[in-house]
Amino acid sequence: MNLESIKSGILAFLVVVSMVLTLSIWNFSNYEEINEATTKQISINGKDAELNEVILPSQMVFHQQNQSYQLKNRTDQFSFYQDIQDWNVSLSNQAANAQDPGASYVEMIYPAEIPLNLLPNLMQFSEENRNASFPDWSFNRLVLIPNHDSDSITLSFRSTQHEQTFNAEVQNPESYTALVNYTQSEDALSELVAYELNDRVIYLPENETVLSKQTYTTSSIAVGPLINNLFPVTSYVRETSGGRYIDGSRMLEEYQVFPNQKYMRFVNPKNEEKAQVGAGFSREELISEANLFINNHDGWTQDYMLTNAEINSEHSTVTFDMLFNGYPVVSKLGHIEQRWINRELNTYIRPLMRLSTPLGSETVTLRSGEDIIYLLEEAEGPLTVPKKTIEDIQMVYTMSSEEEGYSSDIITLEPAWFMKSNGRWMPVPENGDMLNVQGGSRS
């Protein structure tokens, strides 16, 4: 072998090594890009939630001998509801008219229409009923009727809008006894007054209610993981001004409520241009998909409840409101909303803050339900809100920023009476502010 042959062999070997190294670099570079895409931070460090944790009744009414009551401690309502979710439910007597519940029963009022097809996600069904089919309609009431002759319970799911009823049974003496004990526990119950307004009944506490006003520190939720969730190619995203992020079509914008507390609104206008009638979700799909979407980024940063699930021909809207001490919070900082078009997310609104450390509390006394009714019924003159537009009246919590001189990370949650008119929640005014008189309010 001469010197030229050795040189040629070495050169060929070096060329092969170079090609192998180049290919390895390319592959490693591609792996880095793929790995970066799959390991982007998408969690906002909240939690996941099952449907039975966010589909909750807004009110639980205990009816006895033509009187109505509620549990004195609002959090006990949710504890009782959790017990109900563990009952073993059978569908043996499902086809029925709305039977007379008798003198003693419990009525659960839901703020949203709940598809019957979601019941397997909300209740424990007996093994032979787990794959049962359900009627294709939604309920907004659940009536628990104790059957004293058989130590059983009838669960009557009802739609007040369509006057439909679907019945199920709980054949368990222990569950029956627990229900009867709740309905007969005078120490745990307080009286309600039934207010008939605009073809509906609103239940209000008869007496004044003492609740706590509480102060908390807050912490911010980073917007980066939400950008990673909502924009398909994050390298295209640019911040055009303070708190506004765009990729050419989609936009995420931050809105300041208090100095250190914000919420965000994401919009994808592209799917508005191709909206198709009938191409959206059913109500069952909407609620399930909305919950799954939030779970995908651990987005439940507080306790929330489903408050609306609305379907129309071109888009679908679902809302969740924060719960505090068992009561809904009326604030942009406690509100989650999604709008879907053609089964694609069009709008996402959510808080960019969470409650952190409780600092202190004091008690607040709210007016009685009798006072609220008197205010609406006895006003001498036109009301600021036409009575015919009032849909609901509830005790809620509101959020406010601390006074000047305190840390901007501190907010206060305070209870108040609110009423819902034309789909919007607003404070129930004081007596002198309720009248709408030319030139101002009349005292």
Q: Which residue has the higher pLDDT, 386 or 286?
A: 286
Please compute the mean of the pLDDT values over residues 70-75 and round it to a whole number: 91
Burial label, 113 (beta-carbon count in 10 A; 0-12, 13-18, 19+): buried
Among 27-36, 170-179, 266-275, 398-407, whose mean pLDDT is lowest? 27-36
**Contact between 266 and 336 (Cβ < 8 Å):** no
Write down the pLDDT at residue 182: 86
Write down the pLDDT at residue 435: 46
Please compute the mean of the pLDDT values over residues 35-50 and round it to a whole number: 78
**Contact between 216 and 356 (Cβ < 8 Å):** yes
Please compute the mean of the pLDDT values over residues 340-353 and round it to a whole number: 96
Write down the pLDDT at residue 22: 47
pLDDT, averaged across the chain: 86
In angstroms, the CA 374 to CA 204 distance is 12
Asked whether the predicted pLDDT for residue 206 surpasses 70, the reply is yes
CB hemisphere CA count around 94 (13 angstroms):
10
For residue 53, give Cα distances in angstroms to 300, 374, 408: 11, 36, 32
Asked whether the predicted pLDDT for residue 3 surpasses 70, the reply is no
Write down the pLDDT at residue 141: 96
Write down the pLDDT at residue 29: 41
Write down the pLDDT at residue 34: 36
Asked whether the predicted pLDDT for residue 260 surpasses 80, the reply is yes
In angstroms, the CA 145 to CA 155 distance is 7
Please compute the mean of the pLDDT values over residues 311-337 and round it to a whole number: 95
Write down the pLDDT at residue 324: 96
Q: Which residue has the higher pLDDT, 107 or 97?
A: 107
Percent of the chain with pLDDT over 90: 66
Write down the pLDDT at residue 25: 41
**Which band of pLDDT confidence, cut at 50, 70 and 90, is reported for residue 230?**
very high
In angstroms, the CA 228 to CA 237 distance is 10
The pTM score is: 0.87
- Give the model confidence (pLDDT) of 177-203 as tens digits: 999 988 888 888 999 999 999 889 999
CB hemisphere CA count around 84 (13 angstroms):
29
Among 116-130, 139-153, 206-220, 299-313, whose mean pLDDT is lowest? 116-130
Q: Which residue has the higher pLDDT, 108 or 314?
A: 108
Q: Which residue has the higher pLDDT, 68 or 133?
A: 68
Closest by CA position to 246, among listed 257, 258, 256, 234: 234
**Which band of pLDDT confidence, cut at 50, 70 and 90, is reported for residue 1?**
low
Query: Based on C-alpha coordinates, what's the Rg of the chain?
Result: 28
Among 205-209, 241-245, 302-306, whose mean pLDDT is lowest? 241-245
Strand partners, 320: 306, 336
The CA-CA-CA angle for residues 318, 348, 325, to 5°, reads 60
Write down the pLDDT at residue 275: 65
- Give the model confidence (pLDDT) of 9-36 as tens digits: 555 555 554 554 444 444 444 433 434 4
Asked whether the predicted pLDDT for residue 358 surpasses 60, the reply is yes
- Give the model confidence (pLDDT) of 392-402 as tens digits: 999 999 999 96
